Chains A and B, each alone.
Chain A
């Protein structure tokens, strides 16, 4: 397992390097001048030029990138052009809210998706199956922006069950986590359903049934155990999907996480913040996938990586 983990770590570092070069290049090629955005409309061309010099934007791409990478290796992500704070501090203040949101979304995906998927599998072809599949389809296709505002309007404003937005305890977390996780819950339901149907058709399940075990025991002890591993890789992949989703969800609900930070930064081409969030996201996604692979390796010894 160790050589596997080591090679994955090396791969991850390579991915991070590529991610930083790509983000840096994309922003460098963008037909927009961050100095002009920082300077604002009334600034003279001389002021824009002096700001460009102060920010080091008059340097060639390679020099800018090398300088950035040099600082990055010392743990310095630079300073935001617009907010005048260190990017590290900005990231630090936003990581926990986004983590809470993601954990909430994963919890809701599992709590909703798994029982629904199992229910559909056990009632294959009948109305519960059709209802669950319909839900999965709707959940996956509803735009998050629309879904979030609808949930706010119905559950928070209409029924007064939740706060309208903002950051706080569980009651604040529920609606944004649901918006982020609902599509995934439907997807989980579909995957667990098909995985369970496949396992239920296997010989050992038939044997367990023949031994006279109760249907619930057969499903929980024997079938589910073998149907669950795909879900673990899905959670790993979900982290990546969520990193994109939080941009919309956090904006709708006023959740002070990384999504809103990067959205504001993109608006004003705040290069250090954009690159900082991208690099951080790449680290999280790579680690999540690595962890998912390792967990799968531990729980299912049949899997061997070469």
Chain B
């Protein structure tokens, strides 16, 4: 049987043809779930984002491992008008799509309009509706977006309805990866399986449910990139099986991280531990408290719950794979306030606060959680903690989709444990932790503001901060956001519990830094990986 395995590997080698023989070598990455699509306008999860980045580029990117924007397909950072509403981009000259055609400003316009077009069904649509004329285009009242003007084949002007300091971050997102019109037209709805971009790799092979093979783009415009000749992504591997495959040398990187069942074994073994890479994610896992449901509408009750939850115990349940959260913003997010103390664990004070709120004998409430491990166990831990202060919690452990539905419906879910649905940044700007989950406009049916908190004064301050576009205003802007989140923390609508620490394991032959393997924005920077 061993011979059969060898034969299969040999077959794969032949299948990849010259790729393996080329300098740079191949790495194999494993995932449990299938890849759904590589269409950058459509794909929206941590698994397909780094793969899309292999095939496509945006006008802007980040310095690896950081939140600093750099030009990518743009020749330089854009010129910004004085009112902060107009951005003029100059494109890098002579960049070619993988079909051989030179990329132009028309492609940028087409890409953005494609994301905005409701027919594309892009989850990224709302990020771009701040471009002037975008809403009219979305509503079918205009045939083009008036705020996007092609000035020359290598020049493009984008005008916004209002200044937005996060706009350049939005232009660096996957949704803004530049696609060629003719390739989209010829592939039709299948573009996600036949992607064509300007990126460092091309998709060579996709066997549904089994594997994807990416090959180096020999004409890539960035000198020295990519370093690998090819990348094989194997899908459908159970994380425990993938872990065994890595030990046997068949896998180079665990895409889903170290399986919980093996975590202690790995971290206790010095030899295995040497292959482990870890980094705190830009996310916050929290317990949301619905301010529209009695008695959680009382600030004292919410503060009491904040003081009653033992976060250290929850960290033990997840084998310490997290960093205790004191506020909404995670440490790597610009605007994070190191001095934020949060609510200390103090059940006695919590009980006193409940008594002050007229709830000396506690109250009954409901806590929603997804049914996948370890979330029901964490919810039970919270249930026990709250029982200590007299709060009787009924647990509702449901499928993820049902939890999302209940949490986004007003006056339905009193408390929601966000495990598995924790908020992770779309881009490194504090506005991404304010508008989608804590603002008045997201406190609606189907929104993600699960505490249904709406503070118009804070909204106005955030809106004002977002208009601070000039580079000289950046420090003041981040300070303002830190103050906005401090005010939000005081309202105690969330119990921020932990920031997830991601752990993964790589083979000895794979060369890649933490910034490349656990990049805060792109997750994996494939183009910078290499093999010994």
Contacts and interface: CB of A to CB of B under 8 A. Distances in A.
B153 interface: no
B209 A47 contact: no
A168 interface: yes
Interface stretch (B35-43, B59-67, B85-93, B96-104): B35-43
A217 B432 CA distance: 79
Interface stretch (A83-91, A192-200, A237-245, A276-284): A83-91
A152 B402 CA distance: 34
Interface of A: 30-33, 36-48, 50-51, 53-55, 79, 82-85, 90, 93-94, 97, 149, 152-153, 156-157, 160-172, 174, 250-257, 260-261, 264, 267-269
Nearest to B424: A41
14 contacts: A31-B401, A33-B401, A40-B123, A41-B436, A44-B441, A46-B126, A51-B121, A164-B245, A166-B234, A166-B236, A171-B4, A171-B8, A172-B8, A255-B236
B222 interface: no
A36 B125 contact: no
B237 A165 contact: yes
A166 B237 CA distance: 7
Contacts of B446: 33, 36, 45, 48
Q: Interface size for chain B: under 10, 10 to 19, 20 to 34, or 35 or more residues?
A: 35 or more
7 closest pairs, A vs B, by CB? A256-B209, A32-B401, A254-B236, A44-B126, A40-B123, A171-B4, A50-B118
B234 A152 contact: no
Nearest to A41: B448
Interface string B200-242: 0000000111100000000000000000000000111110110
Contacts of B33: 264, 267
Contacts of B241: 149, 152, 164-165, 252-254
A32 B405 contact: yes
Contacts of A253: 238, 241
A149 B242 CA distance: 12
B82 interface: no
A256 B192 CA distance: 19
Given A45-B444, A54-B119, A260 B34 contact: yes
B454 interface: no
B181 to A, nearest CB: 18
A54 B118 contact: yes
B400 to A, nearest CB: 7
Nearest to B421: A41
B126 A32 contact: no
B248 A157 contact: yes
B405 A33 contact: yes
A68 B293 CA distance: 40
Contact of A153 (B189, B208, B244): B244
Contacts, number: 176
A93 B209 contact: yes
Contact of B127 (A42, A97, A251): A42
A134 B246 CA distance: 36
Contacts of B401: 30-33, 37, 268-269
The interface centre, meaning the residue of B209, B406, B432 with most chain A CB atoms within 10 A of its CB, is B209
The interface centre, meaning the residue of A46, A55, A253 with most chain B CB atoms within 10 A of its CB, is A46
Contacts of B124: 42-43
Contacts of B323: none
B2 A160 contact: yes
B118 A53 contact: yes
Contacts of B7: 169
Contacts of B426: 42
Contacts of A46: 126, 129, 138
A167 B123 contact: no
The interface centre, meaning the residue of A42, A43, A160 with most chain B CB atoms within 10 A of its CB, is A42
Given A37-B401, A164-B248, A164-B250, A43 B126 contact: yes
Contacts of A153: 244
B257 interface: no
A169 B2 CA distance: 12
A37 B45 CA distance: 11
B193 interface: yes
Nearest to B248: A164
Given A32-B402, A50-B118, A253-B238, A165 B8 contact: no
A12 B273 CA distance: 57
Contacts of B406: 31
Contacts of B34: 83, 260-261, 264
Contacts of B44: 40
Contact of A85 (B4, B129, B193, B447): B193
B405 A36 contact: yes
B238 A251 contact: yes
Contact of A82 (B36, B235, B402, B444): B36
Contacts of B4: 163, 168-171
A39 B402 contact: no
Nearest to A94: B209
B399 interface: yes
B1 interface: yes
B451 interface: no
Contact of B238 (A84, A167, A170, A252): A252
B169 interface: no
B408 A36 contact: yes
A39 B8 CA distance: 39
Given A40-B44, A45-B445, A267-B33, 8 more contacts: A42-B426, A45-B446, A50-B138, A83-B192, A152-B240, A169-B7, A256-B207, A264-B33
B176 to A, nearest CB: 14
Contacts of B238: 149, 165, 251-254
B190 interface: yes
Contacts of A149: 238, 240-241
Nearest to B3: A171
Contacts of A268: 401
Contact of A261 (B192, B209, B210, B444): B209
A40 B48 CA distance: 13
A43 B405 contact: no
Given A32-B404, A93-B208, A269-B401, A169 B8 contact: yes
Nearest to A89: B208
Given A256-B210, A260-B34, A47 B8 contact: no
B447 A45 contact: yes
A53 B421 CA distance: 25
B5 interface: yes
Contacts of A82: 36-37
Interface string B1-30: 110110110000000000000000000000
Nearest to B126: A44
A165 B243 CA distance: 11
B523 interface: no
Contact of B1 (A41, A84, A161): A161
